[in-house]
Amino acid sequence: MAFYYNEPSRTFSEYLLIPNLTRKECVPENVDLRTPIVRFRKGEKPLFMINLPVASAIMQAVSDHNMAIALARCGGISFIYCSQPIESQAEMVRKVKKYKAGFVVSDSSLTPEHTLRDVIALTRKTGHTTIAITEDGTPTGKLEGILTSRDYRPDKTPLETKVKELMTPFSQLIYGMEGITLSEANDMIWRHKLNCLPIIDKNRNLKYLVFRKDYKEHKENPNELVDSEKRLRVGAGINTRDYTERVPALVEAGADILCIDSSDGYSEWQKDTLEWIKNKYNGEVKVGAGNVVDREGFLYLAEAGADFVKVGIGGGSICITREQKGIGRGQATALIEVAQARDEYFEKTGIYVPICSDGGIVFDYHMVLALAMGADFLMLGRYFARFDESPTKKLLIGGNYYKEYWGEGSNRARNWQRYDLGGEDRLSFEEGVDSYVPYAGKLKDNLDITIYKIKSTMCNCGALSIPELQKTARITLVSSTSIVEGGVHDVIPKDSGVNNPL
């Protein structure tokens, strides 16, 4: 006979937090959101922590190198999508690892023999007005000079004028040598009143450009997530089909952590993948697994060696797995059960395996609920898809701007590996949709507000850290009528279009 759960599976919207005593030290500035994302033993310090408990989803429409750079600079981490050729995913990882905050690899370079016409065309293409002039026109060629918009007048200077006649030649440039710190570079910029400082190696090859305008931005990102060499950290998704080729390429590119991307992680394929990675790299390559929705799924992956376990099936805004297969579970219920299993496993073995809540987040307060219910960090798709840094197009529809957003199980993505059950190499039916989300602007501007809300809510709960929140939070179920009561009701909002409200 089939097993029946007597309790319904519930979503985050069916719960609210009950305030605890807000102590005087409970102010947002004192809240510490650092959290572990790989397993560790009791009494030991986690080897890998993130500074904000958020990760961008393993999706074509969300996580490329631009998203990974922006999120790591804020303190979170991205898992670059794996539904692409191995080399292109590895190249995205390399771009993140090569990025240095404040040290910019030139993407606007020309030779001295180019003309002003070429300069104007390049400026229109990139939007950048500072152009590195190198011997061969490459970003890392021998530096010959710098050209800026102050060196010419488009309406006065003949378009066929050679760049070498306009640029500031190398002999007149102030530059830094490779190995200079960002602090030292910024001191030179301020001391010499520069807008741009080129950094070269001993052979005069251009390495980086440091801009005055980036100084403020660097100061505004104190939570940057970096490795021991001060490189930004980045994750990457993998699948259970081509991992023997994909994993070595990603490790070589510098990926800090991997995650098996699957709609259902409670499978022998995931166990095989985990064991292969652990054996090949002697446990040094960290890899998460999932997704699961119950204690059995968690324990299976934890015992197989997963460094973290992802929780959630069918709760994503573009996921239709529940409609198509009738498989899944309310995200809150799934998370509560898996968190209990995680804690029991910790008590039994002395090994703590972090869990990641993936899906079901609609409002910012849902993030606090997920953390209070036991999540160590959250994976978000729709939330990050709205920002400038996501890889999708921004479209004007009906007077409003939107970003494209599609699921990995949609016909557009055709990520059949994510839904693989050992059959043919194809997507037999859709488990995701193609959609739009309202455009929201820059990631940092929005994430700063969200994080402040999270910290503020935690203060109301009397908690200054995620572990303290999970230990002391009080959570209540709410009725359908109390959900209505919690929103705007019995008034006519001023932006409703009504000119003369009663």
Flag the least confident range among 11-20, 60-69, 205-214, 403-412: 403-412
Return the pLDDT at 423: 55
Q: 268-273: list long-range contacts, CB under 8 Å, 24+ apart.
A: 269/240, 269/420, 269/422, 270/240, 270/301, 270/304, 271/300, 271/301, 271/304, 272/240, 273/238, 273/240, 273/243
Mean pLDDT score across all residues of the chain: 90
Marked catalytic residue, from 319, 356, 459, 461: 319
How high is the pLDDT of residue 428? Answer: 53
Active-site hit among 329, 386, 418, 459:
418
Give the residue, 419 or 475, on which the prediction is more confident.
475
What would the mean pLDDT of 167-178 be, rounded to a whole number?
94
Average pLDDT over residues 375-401: 94
The edge-to-edge listing of strands for the beta sheet with 206-211 is 176-177, 196-200, 206-211
Task: Judge whether residue 495 has pLDDT over 90.
Answer: no
Which pLDDT score is estimated for 501?
41
Three-class SS of residue 28? Answer: helix
pLDDT at residue 319 greater than cutoff 90: no
**Confidence (pLDDT) at 327:** 85
How big is the CA angle at 163 (ends 157 and 168), to the nearest 5 degrees?
Answer: 100
Examine the pLDDT at 502 and tell me if it is beyond 50. Answer: no
Q: pLDDT tens digits for 192-242?
A: 988 899 999 999 999 999 988 766 666 778 899 989 877 899 999 999 999
Which residue reads 């209990």 in tokens?
Answer: 340
Percent of the chain beyond pLDDT 90?
71
The pLDDT value given to residue 188: 93
Q: Check residue 326 and give its pLDDT.
A: 76
20-50: pLDDT as tens digits: 999 999 999 999 999 999 999 999 999 999 9
pLDDT of residue 102: 74
CA–CA gap between residue 405 and residue 62 (Å, rounded): 8
Over range 429-451, report the average pLDDT: 86
pLDDT at 416: 44
Cα end-to-end span (Å), the chain = 60
How many Cα neighbours within 13 Å face the side chain of 139? 9
Tell me the C-alpha distance between 36 and 46, whole Å.
Answer: 6
Tens-digit pLDDT profile for residues 236-295: 999 999 999 999 999 999 999 999 999 899 999 999 999 999 999 999 999 999 999 999
Q: Say what the pLDDT of residue 381 is.
A: 95
Q: Assess whether 418 carries a catalytic annotation.
A: yes
pLDDT digits over 61-102, tens only?
Answer: 999 999 999 999 999 999 999 999 999 999 999 999 988 667
Cα dihedral across residues 303, 306, 311, 317: positive or negative: negative
Which pLDDT does position 499 carry in this prediction? 44
pLDDT of residue 498: 47
Q: Where residue 128 falls among pLDDT bands split at 50, 70, 90?
A: confident
